[in-house]
């Protein structure tokens, strides 16, 4: 079995299948960890294919960057053997830099998972809240609570063009960036707005429960005795979250596409959808954990149990999500401030690129 696996890995590496090309870097760096290999003073001494060879005509070339230094061992030549090196022991500088790029975006990727987790809870419990409230818009028209998210979406259809035509050109005057602000800054705006959205949801839930207490309808059947408060109030938290989602979506799509290795750019959107998938999965785990920890704290048994939402502590759950979002935002700031963008003009196979300084990516600040 192991022999077949080795043959398959060799087959994939022969045809330059990118995931295995990047895997070679991690394997080579791990293998060379025990050797006392020092980074040469001249970075051109790191292993790279000769650009004058025919095989290098369409090859990608990236300059060395002073980040994730432990991976540099994969490109340090231990000997001057002219024979073709073992790709699982010695890798090109470009391979190493692509591996660094992939490894660098994972902290940013991880910080966006909890936002989808919050969106899942907001969509689920806001509908339950809306079912207890007055759904009438006019005397003859009622809005289904499940349709509430469409209201802020309509506003977004108007706001997105305004943002593109007014906000971006205004920010461009101060930053000099075509996008107005960097990709990471856009993601950061989305993360902090999502925390504010959960806080507004908590305040709205407090208001809703107070109305239920004042009118002695805590145990009333919502269909027969809805609360005298319009369900449209819930659209506020959706409106804030949708704006946050707009910044996150655009920021993540542009970030992953520009920072992903060249061979992964065509599927770079999978990082966004993977982040969302993990968020939806973890949302169920979070609810189970909260119910387990808060068991016996309410009349229904725990914070989120039972069919009567008026007897639960949904407001505390929203506050918990808001706090988690804020902590996650602080972690994201730590990650974003230390992230170094990939030089966008370094993929051309020219001598100037090989000799470019390693700090080219510092031209853009988070």
In the three-class reduction of DSSP (H, G, I as helix; E, B as strand; rest coil), residue 38 is classed as: coil
> In the prediction, which pLDDT does 301 show?
58
> In the prediction, which pLDDT does 13 show?
47
> In the prediction, which pLDDT does 351 show?
42
- pLDDT (tens digit, 9 = 90+) per residue, 130-148? 888 888 888 788 888 888 7
> In the prediction, which pLDDT does 202 show?
93
Q: Work out whether strand 133-134 and strand 136-138 pair parallel, antiparallel, or are unpaired.
A: unpaired
> In the prediction, which pLDDT does 265 show?
78
DSSP-derived secondary structure for 136-186: EEETTEE--GGGTTHHHHHHHHHHHHHIIIIIHHHHHHHH--TTSS-HHHH
Beta bridge partners of 136: 142
**Positions of the chain with pLDDT lower than 50, given as ranges:** 2, 8-9, 11-15, 54, 57, 347-366
> In the prediction, which pLDDT does 35 show?
67
The alpha carbon of residue 218 and the mean position of all alpha carbons in its chain are separated, in whole angstroms, by 39
Contact predicate 321/344, CB 8 Å: no
């Amino acid at each position: 079995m192991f022999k077949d696996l080795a043959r398959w890995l060799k087959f994939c590496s022969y045809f330059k299948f990118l995931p295995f090309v990047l895997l070679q870097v991690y394997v080579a760096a791990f293998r060379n960890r025990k050797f006392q290999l020092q980074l040469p003073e001249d970075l051109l001494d790191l292993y790279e294919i000769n650009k004058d060879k025919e095989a290098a005509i369409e090859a990608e070339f990236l300059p060395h960057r002073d980040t994730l230094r432990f991976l540099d061992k994969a490109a340090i030549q231990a000997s001057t053997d002219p024979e073709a090196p073992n790709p699982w022991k010695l890798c090109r500088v470009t391979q190493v830099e692509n591996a660094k790029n992939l490894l660098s975006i994972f902290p940013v990727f991880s910080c966006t998972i909890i936002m989808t987790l919050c969106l899942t809870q907001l969509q689920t419990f806001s509908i339950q809240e809306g079912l207890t409230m007055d759904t009438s818009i006019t005397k003859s028209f009622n809005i289904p609570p499940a349709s509430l998210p469409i209201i802020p979406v309509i506003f977004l259809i108007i706001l997105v063009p305004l943002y593109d035509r007014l906000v971006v050109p205004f920010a461009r005057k101060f930053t000099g960036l075509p996008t107005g602000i960097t990709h990471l800054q856009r993601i950061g705006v989305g993360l902090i707005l999502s925390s504010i959205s959960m806080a507004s949801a908590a305040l709205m839930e407090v208001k809703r429960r107070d109305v239920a207490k004042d009118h002695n309808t805590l145990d009333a059947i919502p269909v027969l005795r809805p609360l005298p408060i319009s369900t449209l109030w819930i659209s506020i938290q959706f409106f804030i979250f949708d704006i946050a989602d707009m910044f996150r979506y655009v920021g993540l799509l542009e970030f992953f596409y520009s920072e992903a290795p060249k061979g992964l750019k065509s599927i770079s959107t999978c990082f966004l959808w993977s982040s969302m998938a993990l968020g939806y999965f973890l949302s169920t785990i979070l609810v189970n954990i909260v119910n387990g920890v808060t068991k016996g704290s309410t009349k229904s048994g725990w914070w989120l149990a039972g069919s009567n939402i008026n007897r639960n502590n949904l407001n505390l759950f929203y506050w918990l999500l808001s706090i988690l979002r804020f902590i996650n935002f602080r972690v994201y700031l730590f990650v974003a401030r230390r992230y170094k963008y990939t030089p966008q003009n370094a993929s051309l196979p020219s001598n100037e690129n090989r000799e470019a300084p390693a700090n080219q990516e510092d031209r853009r600040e988070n």
